[in-house]
Structure 1
Amino acid sequence: MPISFDEQKQIFKLDTDRTTYLIGIGPGGLLGHIYYGPKLNHACGMDMLRADEYPYPPSVTPRDKISFVDYYLFEFPTGGVGDFRPTCLEVRNARGQRGCELVYDSYAIESGKPRLEGLPCSFPGEDDAVQTLYLNLKDEVLGLTVTLLYSAFPRENIITRSVMLANTGMENGGETLHIGRVLSACLDVDQDGQNGYELITLPGAWGRERHVQRSAVRRGRQSVFSLRGESSHQYQPFAALVRHDTNEEQGEAIGLSFVYSGNFLAETEWSQMDQIRLVMGIHPDGFDWELRPGESFDAPEVVLSYSAEGTGQMTRQFHDFFRGHMIRSPYLHRDRPILINNWEATYFDFNTERLLTLAREAKSAGIEMLVMDDGWFGDRKDDFRSLGDWFVNEEKLPGGLSYLVEEVNRIGLKFGIWFEPEMVSPDSEIFRAHPDWALQLCGRKPSCGRMQLVLDITRQEVRDCIMDQLLSILHSANIEYVKWDMNRSLTDVGNLVLPSDRQGELLHRYVLALYEMQERLVTEFPELLLENCSSGGARFDAGELYYSPQIWTSDDTDAIERLRIQEGTAMVFPLSSMGAHVSICPNEQVGRSTPFKTRGDVAMSGTFGYELDIAKLTAEERTQIPGQVADYHRFHGIVADGDYYRLSSWSDSDPFDCWMSVRKDRSEALLTFVQVLGRPNFRSRIIKLRGLDPEARYAVERDGAAEGERSGEELLCCGLRFPNRGDFTSTQVYLKRI
């Protein structure tokens, strides 16, 4: 079985097919981290914790407890008792004093995987040998029980971690505790001076999200975080420790991905004792959770992926795990309908006839769904008004939504719609009726972003009002897709209902409320295709994948900019989760013009769709759409369910970009090559492929033209040639085993 306990050694061993994770019960019941790496047949000993070295543990001598605690390899470090490195838990008692010290109490090993209250979390497959370890730790002084949960997913080589807190002080009368910091995972490792660890993160901004950044771990602390109320454009709730010599194909990599859509912190410290600590969880700034006697608190989940075969294997493990154990949608393995969104074609200036004209043009080109974006409701003439008024504007749409949808369906297209349920315009009927329903600080005028405020969805009456309107719209017509948008960060985070000593709960309660709303939506409409969006990619995180199988990757639809954005996103998330569309040129975000084929090839490594006015395309561009539609359906299974290999990276200063997807049985593969910039006096490029069967023979097809046969061995060891001419050009190579 994946999880075992050696009573003699006092070591817990968590195994996957290729990895082992070891936890030891150290002296005095201090839980220590021993090992995370390649699979071990037998657990190493407790000596890895160095508890027999000076300064000795407090259970041996109380002389230097502080020195011992400040270098011990803790599995779950706490604050206030001597560990000055980043901690996972800080607790304040009724007197306002901070300090917590946890000792081991008991354990349990169970088959399967528990749910986390109100939170998205991974789940076992039907035939999986998934097991969960519960480690119960106690602070008798506080009356606090902390349960560490570890679930081992053998086939995907994934370990998940989460934390449950319980105020069990009722037996002694009990006191209310305040949790000022509760992070979900800690990883303590030794820094090796010759081949030490580096840090990979995915920073960015609006329009250039999730660029891969690799840097040396420095002495002191480094962090990535969000304080914006969402996982954010600026940082991704992901971090990886990799060895200096690690690349895509070789070397150690340990990736952590946080299953959460709000404020987060991922922090490393290279300590005085040449140890590296990496912690991850809810950001403590602005967080203060009241835990009364008898109450409990569940912290979100962290997903750990260890690879001894480079960052590529780490990535493929994440992909397999999220596909198999996080995404619940029935669309997971289905071809997604190829949609056209009217936003860049019409913005707010549309009516029923204009949408139907777009639908007819789309149908004639082979597109399968029309999505009506912002502007269909209330008095929504521009982005200054009417958010929150979720009723159809029949001046724009005579006959209402049911008539429009029926006509679109009659043309032969499916229909989708845009909502922004969490936001409200000051100039709206709902805000005039309920000005207290927006997040706000007493005595201050709340700040607008995109001329909108944030609804306080932590209040049940606000959630119910918005969701009742949204669900009524969906019941009124045959709507098969929803784009759930959120176009600003959270500010003025004040609530007019919670007491003053519980305002620190508001940001986390907001995320829980979001999850409740989306759970209600997908429960009432289980066949709905939901796509999350947040002003582009500001909420592209594992938490949202639990509700929607795809997320809008970025508002930047330029094919060349998308190379970096999609590379960084794909380091963690499956290609099938990346919303990607073909848009007009010159591109509206950067002003660049790229060939229509390149735009299609890049978008095909995502969900694929169109964001343009077909009538404004050239005749040549328009004739390419049916072929792109056919290619998407032909290749979608390879891209969506296959193994992803990064062959070259423009973000690494290469003048070209190249990646491929390979079916699990290695029978088919799709390679995409983008010549970003041509260079003078250079010959053709040779790209060695990966993931193929070296014993097989493959038929090679380049941009639809047959190119003969090659052995898998030849493709892996010798490669394929690609020309070094032109800017922004692309090539697709399809391989089929024969």
Structure 2
Amino acid sequence: MNQIITVGEAPFALNLRLHEAGMPEIIALGDAVEAHEPLAAITRASRINGMDEAVPSNVILPTGGMGFFGWPAITGHRQGRDFLLDFSDWKMLQTGNRTRLSARDTVAQIAIQIEIASHAGGVISMASRLTNEGSLPYQLDRCMAGTFRLPAGQAWIEHFTGSWGREFQTRREKLGTALWVQENRRGRTSHDRPPMLFVESGGLKLGLTLAWSSNHQIAVDCADDGARLVHLGALFEPGECLLGPGDTYESPRAYAGADVASLHAFVREELLDWPGKAMKPRPVTLNTWEGNYFDHKLDALKAQASAAAELGIERFVLDDGWFGRRDDDTSSLGDWDIDPRKYPSGLKPLVDHVTGLGMEFGIWFEPEMINPNSELFRAYPDWSLQAEGRPLLLSRNQLVLDLTRPEVSDYIFNKMHAVLSTHDISYIKWDMNRDLTHAAGRDGRARTDAQIRAVYALMDSIRAAHPDVEIESCASGGGRVDYGVLARTHRVWASDCTDALERLEIQRGISRFLPPEIIGSHVSAVPNHQTGRRHSLSFRAIVAMAYHFGVELNPLEMTDGERAEMAGFIEAHKRLRPVLHESGANFFCEPLDGRYLWGAASEEKIVLFIAQATQAVSEQPAPLRLPEKLRTIGGAWRITNKMPDHPAFIRIHDDQRRLLAGEISFSLDAAISGGLPLPMMMPESALLLELDREDD
């Protein structure tokens, strides 16, 4: 058997060869290889002291011990035996965009399925299934979702690190021949090691990510011939995945895209499941957290809602503090009943006031958590994840509910359903504010993998019961941002840090994998609550405008001038939303001398956001070169609008003034090749430019 399979289409296709025994061999990832191509069918021999029978090393989900000596993507055993796996008799089934490969190991009595799919935008995904066909339990220690191959050559990897308030910090490093591994054990996607990276080698650059919101493992292994295999999958705690006779493990799904545009197209066109099956314009949002914290006073909140409506805000989200006796973060998680002290007539008066102003009403939940100081914990102290004999480790004064227990999940669903079904609520801010520790069930076994599957099931149940309600994924900011949770939600909160200067790098990082319209970005008060910095309103607004735009402050505390300025930015955002969120032609450029550039383009309008983070080093700023991808638009253009009217330029020449005033027309090719000669900007300032096509 020497069958060649192609999944996807050029210029981004996965080409495989099936052998009678052994894992599917990856011939190439990129242009399609025709089945009649003779070079693709040649089997390569190993060196003299290698295996007598050729054992391909560039395979999907390699297993060890049978002639492959690299990093095994699947490992396990049955009471110390059956630790070798050698699958054979491969079968293929192709249905639409999906190809399913299946085989069995008759000695170990394990069956495998690998599903490979091509997706919108030029993205390829993989997922695996392993079934125990034996009569004894099988301890599965590792089962990666998929493997992607890069050709030999000098290799680079870009990945993300960070912490609370400083997520998605991009790091780039050169790969050697040693194994590169990233492991996350926090029980959520994490702030410091999200499962997202770019790997580049031999002229091919892949964006890779795992659709999984819990522990994960990514390994980049160098094969004997210099090619690199990238494996992505869930990470199990010891003994966590024990397959009984007939049991099946189903992995999450791993994705690979050729570039940022491909990944954005997949998220927009296939991953997101919008109410009504189509995205409506992203409502400008006011979130009450930084404006109120736990201080909920009905009349004050109504007044804030009225002021928000006057600004043009379209969604009002009531954050933490409306339930139980929640006056700070030490109590009441799990007690999802409306606080009668703060809301003696319930939430309906506030909800009716907000919706009567023409805004949507949203509400905050943290469904997965419980405070020891809560009625729920006092009634059911065993409902949290805990390991017998170990201390209950608190984080942010809270524990994690064991949602793998049906009675716990049902309780939380019923509490949420009671609030949602009795109020006109369009939006949930679903928060999750701690990492998992001592994540064991009543039987003492690890429950990390099962816990996230139970969270997904709870989200699915809420979506099914309330199909018109959108959900935001928040986890201490950007601690749960991945394609797994995004299959069930509609927006992410990139960071609890609303400082515009910090947001430049946070948003640049997260935008590599997510389109801007689902990334929440809010204008907050000065001084900033996380950093103490003071920034102009224009800087704060322009840094946030391209994304899912919002406000994180009390509008009653703004001056009349600030409210007028804020209303102007909101009006501009609404006017530009079709270009920013629907054109699909978003771009994000690498910072140059402290200057950030991002934006979006249609055939008739280009929107540029320019922010100067730090003092420039150069005597004159380099001309602002627009991205190469815009060259296909072509034509003559001129600047038709800038915000603010009086930007923070250090010095400006009369020619530059004329350019910004729209008196000079220029070709788009010139703006790409030579750049726009803009003036130098003050540090921590920003500028929005609108370019319109000249009439023919």
Residues 208-223 of structure 1 aligned to structure 2 (within 5 Å): 208-223=166-181
- 2:95 maps to 1:110: yes
Alpha-carbon distance change, 649 to 149 in structure 1, aligned in 2, over 3 angstroms: same
Is residue 263 from structure 1 mapped to residue 215 from structure 2 by the alignment?
A: yes
| Letter matched to residue 291 of structure 1 | L
Give 2:303's aligned residue.
357
> Which residue of structure 1 aligns with residue 605 of structure 2?
668
Partner of 1:156: 121
Gaps of at least 5 residues in structure 1 are 1-6, 62-67, 112-130, 245-250, 307-313
For 1:168, the equivalent position in structure 2 comes to 133
* Residue 188 of structure 1: how far off its partner (Å): 3.8
Counterpart selection for 1:707 from 659, 662, 673: 662
Query: 1:284, CA displacement in angstroms?
Result: 3.4
Cα displacement string for residues 322-373 of structure 1 (whole angstroms, at most 9, x for unaligned residues): 1111001138532122121111111111221121121122122222222111
**1:239 aligned onto 2:234:** no
Q: 2:6 aligns with which of 10, 13, 30?
A: 13
Match of 2:653 in 1: none
Letter aligned with residue 45 of structure 2: D
Identity fraction in percent: 28
One of 310, 332, 343 as aligned partner of 1:386: 332
Note if 1:323 corresponds to 2:268: yes
| 1:489 paired to 2:489 | no
Specify whether residues 603 and 286 from structure 1 end up closer, same or farther in structure 2 by C-alpha distance, changes over 3 A only.
Answer: farther
3-state SS of paired residue (1:722): coil
1:46 is displaced (CA, Å) by 6.1
Cα distance, 1:104–1:729 mapped onto 2, change above 3 Å: farther
Aligned twin of 1:144: 110
Q: Does the Cα contact within 8 Å between 2:196 and 2:208 map onto a contact in 1? A: yes
Q: What is the alpha-carbon distance in structure 2 between the residues aligned to residue 613 and residue 549 of structure 1?
A: 25
Structure 1 residues 652-678: Cα deviation after superposition (integer angstroms, max 9, x where no partner): x63110012123xx3332111112234
Q: How far did residue 259 of structure 1 move? A: 0.7
User: What does residue range 450-469 of structure 1 map to in structure 2 within 5 Å?
Assistant: 450-469=396-415
Q: Which residue of 2 aligns with 1:22?
A: 15
Partner of 2:77: 92
TM-score for the superposition, normalised by structure 2: 0.92
Cα distance per residue 1:592-625 (max 9 Å; x no partner): 2221111111111210100012232233322112
Partner SS for 1:211: strand
Instruction: Give 1:532's aligned residue.
Output: 473
SS in 2 for 1:161: strand
Q: Secondary structure at the match of 2:101?
A: strand
Q: Report 1:441-590 matches (<5 A).
A: 441-496=387-442, 498=443, 503-504=445-446, 506-590=447-531
Rounded to whole Å, the distance in 2 between the matches of 1:287 and 1:344 is 43
Q: 2:61 matched to 1:76?
A: yes
AA matched with 2:107: V
Measure, in 2, the Cα distance between the counterparts of 1:44 and 1:55.
Answer: 28
Residue of structure 1 in register with 2:141 after alignment:
180
| Structure 2 letter corresponding to 1:78 | T
Q: Quick one: distance in 1 between partners of 2:421 and 2:20?
A: 61
Kept after mapping to 1: 8 A contact 2:236/2:449: no
Task: Give 1:632 deviation, angstroms.
Answer: 1.6
Verify the 8 A CA contact 2:210 2:255 in the aligned structure 1.
Answer: yes
Deviation at 1:679, TM superposition (A): 3.5
Q: For residues 559 and 18 of structure 1, what CA distance do their matches in structure 2 show?
A: 38
Q: Is the 8 A contact 1:27 1:51 kept in 2?
A: no
Q: Assess, with a 3 A threshold, how the Cα gap between structure 1 residues 384 and 283 changes in structure 2: closer, same or farther.
A: same
Distance 1:539 1:486 in 2: 8
Would you say 1:32 and 2:25 are equivalent positions? yes
Sort the Cα spacing of 1:718 and 1:106 in 2 relative to 1 into closer, same or farther, 3 A.
Answer: same
Q: Does 1:294 align with 2:246?
A: yes
Over aligned residue pairs, what C-alpha RMSD do you find?
2.3
Q: Can you list the C-alpha shifts for 1:716-737, whole angstroms capped at 9, x where unaligned?
A: 3333232213121111122333
Contact 2:151/2:204 (8 A) holds in 1: no
- Map Cα deviations across residues 428-486 of structure 1 (whole Å, 9 max, x no partner): 00000000000111022210000000000111110000110011001111111110000
Shift of 1:228: 0.5
Per the alignment, residue 120 of structure 1 pairs with: none
Partners of 1:46 and 1:135 lie apart in 2 by 23
Give the Cα separation in 2 of the matches to 1:238 and 1:104.
34
Counterpart in the other structure of 2:361: 415
Change (3 A) 1:40 1:707: farther
1:348 maps to 294
For the 8 Å contact 2:57–2:224, the answer to whether it is kept is no
Counterpart-to-counterpart distance in 2, 1:44 and 1:214: 37
For 1:255, the aligned partner's letter is G
State the shift of 1:698 in Å: 3.2
Question: How many Å separate the matches in 1 of 2:226 and 2:129?
Answer: 31
1:346 is matched by which residue type in structure 2? N
**Does residue 398 of the first structure (1) align with residue 344 of the second (2)?**
yes
Amino acid at match of 1:177: Y
Q: Matched residue of 2:163: which SS?
A: coil
Is the 1:104–1:135 contact (alpha carbons within 8 Å) kept by the matching residues of 2? no
Partner of 2:312: 366
CA contact (8 A) 1:162 1:184 kept: yes
- Structure 1, residues 75-118: CA drift from partner, whole Å, max 9, x if none? 2211344534222211211455522222242111111xxxxxxx
Counterpart in 1 of 2:596?
A: 657
Deviations 1:529-553 (A, max 9, x none): 2111000000011111111121100
* Amino acid in structure 2 at the alignment position of 1:183: M
Alpha-carbon distance in structure 1 between the residues aligned to 2:641 and 2:619: 22
Give the distance between the partners of 2:617 and 2:3, measured in 1 at CA: 64
**708-717 or 604-613, larger mean C-alpha shift:** 708-717
Describe the SS at the equivalent of 2:166: coil
Once residues 714 and 273 of structure 1 are traced to their aligned partners in structure 2, the CA distance between those partners, rounded to angstroms, is 44
How far 1:418 sits from its partner (Å)?
Answer: 0.4
Residue aligning to 1:310: none
What displacement does 1:39 show?
4.1
The answer to whether the 8 Å contact 1:387/1:428 transfers is yes
Cα 1:632–1:79 shift into 2, 3 Å: same
Structure 1 residue 232, shift from structure 2 partner: 0.4
Corresponding pairs, count: 674
Q: What residue identity is the alignment partner of 1:167?
A: N
Taking structure 1 as reference, are residues 518 and 27 closer, same or farther at Cα in structure 2, changes over 3 Å only?
closer
| Alpha-carbon shift at residue 292 of structure 1 (Å) | 2.5
SS of the counterpart of 2:672? Answer: helix
Return closer, same or farther for 1:464/1:46 CA change in 2, 3 Å cut-off: farther
CA 647–135 in structure 1, closer or farther in 2 if over 3 Å, else same: closer
The 8 Å contact of residues 685 and 723 in structure 1, kept in 2 or not, is answered as no
Corresponding residue for residue 600 of structure 1: 541
Residue number in structure 1 paired with 2:648: none
TM-score (norm 1): 0.87
| Correspondent of 1:198 among 149, 153, 156 | 156
Distance 2:549 2:535 in 1: 17
Equivalent residues in 2 for 1:722-737 (5 A)? 722-737=678-693
C-alpha distance after superposition, 1:294-338 (max 9, x if no partner): 3322111111113xxxxxxx0000000111110011385321221
Q: Distance in 1 between matches of 2:279 and 2:472?
A: 15
Contact map agreement 2:23 2:62 (CA 8 A) in 1: no
User: Following TM superposition, by how much is the alpha carbon of 1:56 offset from its aligned partner in structure 2, in angstroms?
Assistant: 8.8
